[in-house]
């Protein structure tokens, strides 16, 4: 390879080092490809640096503070509990640093070359990589694009010191006394809950008729009840109109029930969705087709219309989930190596770290019916589980969706403690073609929350033990 005015020739180029890109790079290297990964930011992308990981760390810290207030019903009394928020942020940073440094070690351990810079496509086999000082041309045989997404900015809510997106909310120097959250999706709900646990007075403004519309109504109701118990004000069918900023806060105006209203806060957090990072790559130079939202069109192997260029993660259709991006990254890397790998989204779970946690995989009952299946929905409540009782955390249920004719598991929804961990077993059941009988015959340790899956399967079989 010659560096300078001459192009550097690559086998496989991965653009973007988030949970899609770095996983794709590692898998491609494992498949025998010579791989180079390029990112203009930090390794780990949004997820590890300013998304999934730091948000869950902040959520966990909020839980710890809330729990430290005591539990009178359990005989636990505490006094003078306080928060050193600078220490919270320091700890959160340590969590992030451990993971991002780990990604670097994994890439190097798999002999992936790491390049820092911004990528611009010249044609279907050539990119120009630029940093603050230099520019270098690279040619490649195959390319996997994994550039992720960024928060959508509303025209009437330009980002500033007081008008913030999720990254800003994760990096505040103080616990706000009051915060307005625009958007009741998973990001707004998670961060709103975290700050409510720290004592912030939170108002959520949602333009549609409910929050968390990707989940079933009964699941949403549990979250709303919990938010209201924390003092969170949820205003639905509310259209945010504008914001007035001062040195110490904001005044947010919105329309609800035909009237314009205002609410004062220290910060307004805008979480109305994300847009794909495809607009500054020069993809038109490579002939890559995109839809009107800037998403790259792909086939079942994550291949774009240009046969040597693949795309994964937030820049293709589907929910912007880190584990979806990682899954697609493996598919793309294996497809380049000639394997018959194809994407199948049916077993991809969706999780919200709300209170209680929500998780769903496969079909909901209604989705299954709409798809033409004759199904049975079997529910088991957390309140009938010994471990949930001992945790003093009995809100929620598990719902198992099975085909009536053979008991095949085709979907599951969980609202309750540790739903984010419990959903994996149901995803495995779907992926491997298990039936309700298979789940019921699987011996689960007692007392555990995992038993709820077994109990719901027994409900599906018409032979429940711990419910009637």
Which token pair is 169? 């909310």
Residue 431 maps to which CATH number? 3.30.390.30
Place of tokens 């847009």: 275
Q: CA–CA distance from 162 to each of 158, 201, 207, 253 (Å)? A: 10, 16, 21, 15
pLDDT, residue 1, reads: 40
385 and 435 fall within a common domain: yes
Number of domains within the chain: 3
The radius of gyration of the chain's CA atoms, rounded to the nearest angstrom, is: 24
Same domain, 12 and 144: yes
Paired residues of 151 in beta bridges: 274
203 and 85 assigned to the same domain: no
With a cut of 60, say whether residue 3 has pLDDT above it: no
Q: Say yes or no to pLDDT of 175 above 60.
A: yes
Cα–Cα distances (Å) from 350 to 166, 212, 415, in that order, read: 19, 12, 12
Is there a single domain that holds both residue 143 and residue 12? yes
Are 138 and 240 in a shared domain?
no
Reply yes or no on whether the pLDDT at 4 is more than 80: no
pLDDT tier at 246, thresholds 50, 70, 90: confident
In a domain, residue 3? The reply is no
- Which pLDDT does position 326 carry in this prediction? 98
Instruction: Taking residues 394-420, report their average pLDDT.
Output: 98
Residue 286: CATH number of its domain = 3.50.50.60
Identify the pLDDT of residue 144. 98
Average pLDDT over residues 295-306: 98
Q: Looking at the structure, do residues 143 and 168 belong to the same domain, yes or no?
A: no
Same domain (yes/no): 265, 283: no
Same structural domain for residues 225 and 280? no
- Asked if 290 and 298 touch (Cβ cutoff 8 Å), the reply is no
Contact 229, 202 (CB under 8 A): no
Contact 223, 189 (CB under 8 A): yes
pTM: 0.95
**Contact (CB, 8 A) for 115 and 127:** no
In this prediction, residue 6 has a pLDDT band, given cuts at 50, 70 and 90, of: confident
- Same structural domain for residues 257 and 288? no
109-158 pLDDT per residue, tens: 999 999 999 999 999 999 999 998 899 999 999 999 999 999 999 999 99
In a domain, 290, yes or no: yes
Whether residue 144 sits in one domain with residue 24: yes
Band (pLDDT 50/70/90 cuts) for residue 248 is confident
CA distance 439 to 428: 11
Residue 157 belongs to a domain: no
Is residue 467 included in any domain, yes or no?
no
Sign of torsion, CA 404 216 293 37? negative
Token readout for 336 is: 């380049």
Residue 2 pLDDT class (50, 70, 90 cuts): very low
> Cβ of 112: how many Cβ atoms within 10 Å?
22
Residue finishing a domain among 247, 272, 297: 272
Task: Count how many Cα atoms sit within 13 Å of the Cα of residue 93 in the half-sphere of its side chain.
Answer: 9
* Residue 155 forms part of a structural domain: no
Catalytic residues: 446
Q: Are residues 144 and 293 in the same domain?
A: yes
Residue 2 lies in a domain: no
Q: Which of residues 251, 272, 293 is at a domain's end?
A: 272
Boundary (domain end) residue, out of 323, 345, 367: 345
Across residues 216-238, what is the average pLDDT? 98
Tens-digit pLDDT profile for residues 99-110: 999 999 999 999
Helices within 230-302 (DSSP H only): 283-286
Which tens digits make up the pLDDT trace of 334-386? Answer: 999 999 999 999 999 999 999 999 999 999 999 999 999 999 999 999 999 99
Q: Taking residues 421-446, what's their average pLDDT?
A: 98
Q: Which domain holds residue 32?
A: 8-149+275-345
Same structural domain for residues 14 and 137? Answer: yes
């Amino acid at each position: 390879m010659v560096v300078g005015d001459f192009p550097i020739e690559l086998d496989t180029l991965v653009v973007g080092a988030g949970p899609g890109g770095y996983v794709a790079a590692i898998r491609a290297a494992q498949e025998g490809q010579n791989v180079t990964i390029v990112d203009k930011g930090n390794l780990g992308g949004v997820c590890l640096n300013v998304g999934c990981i730091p948000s869950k760390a902040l959520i966990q810290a909020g839980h710890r503070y809330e729990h430290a207030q005591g539990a009178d019903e359990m005989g636990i009394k505490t006094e003078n509990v306080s928060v050193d928020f600078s220490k919270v942020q320091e700890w959160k940073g340590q969590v992030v640093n451990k993971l991002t440094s780990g990604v670097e070690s994994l890439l190097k351990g798999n002999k992936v070359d790491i390049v820092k810079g911004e990528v611009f496509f010249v044609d279907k086999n050539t990119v120009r990589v630029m940093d603050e000082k230099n520019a270098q041309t690279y040619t490649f045989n195959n390319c996997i694009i994994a550039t992720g997404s960024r928060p959508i900015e509303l025209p009437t809510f330009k980002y500033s010191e007081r008008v913030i997106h999720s990254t800003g909310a994760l990096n505040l120097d103080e616990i706000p006394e009051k915060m307005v959250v625009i958007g009741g999706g998973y990001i707004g709900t998670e961060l709103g809950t975290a700050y409510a646990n720290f004592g912030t007075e939170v108002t959520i403004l949602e333009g549609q008729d409910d929050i968390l519309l990707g989940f079933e109504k009964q699941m949403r109701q549990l979250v709303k009840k919990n938010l209201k118990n924390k003092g969170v004000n949820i205003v639905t069918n509310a259209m945010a109109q504008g914001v007035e900023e001062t040195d110490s806060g904001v005044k947010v105006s919105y329309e609800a029930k035909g009237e314009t209203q205002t609410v004062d806060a220290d910060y307004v957090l805008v979480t109305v969705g994300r847009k794909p990072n495809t607009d500054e790559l020069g993809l038109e130079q490579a002939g890559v087709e995109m839809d009107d939202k800037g998403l790259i069109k792909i086939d079942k192997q994550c291949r774009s219309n240009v046969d040597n260029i693949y795309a994964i993660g937030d820049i293709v259709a589907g929910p912007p989930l880190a584990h979806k991006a990682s899954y697609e990254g493996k598919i793309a890397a294996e497809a380049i190596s000639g394997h018959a790998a194809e994407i199948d989204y049916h077993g991809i779970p969706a999780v919200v770290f709300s209170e209680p946690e929500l998780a769903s995989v496969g079909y909901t009952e209604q989705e299954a019916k709409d798809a033409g299946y004759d199904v049975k929905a079997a529910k088991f409540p957390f309140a009938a589980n010994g471990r949930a009782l001992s945790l003093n955390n009995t809100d929620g249920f598990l719902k198992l969706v099975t085909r009536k004719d053979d008991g095949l598991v085709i979907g599951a929804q969980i609202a309750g403690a540790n739903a984010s961990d419990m959903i994996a077993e149901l995803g495995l059941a779907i992926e491997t073609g298990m039936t309700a009988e298979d789940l019921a015959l699987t011996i689960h340790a007692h007392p555990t929350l995992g038993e709820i899956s077994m109990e719901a399967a027994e409900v599906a079989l018409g032979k429940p033990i711990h419910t009637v």
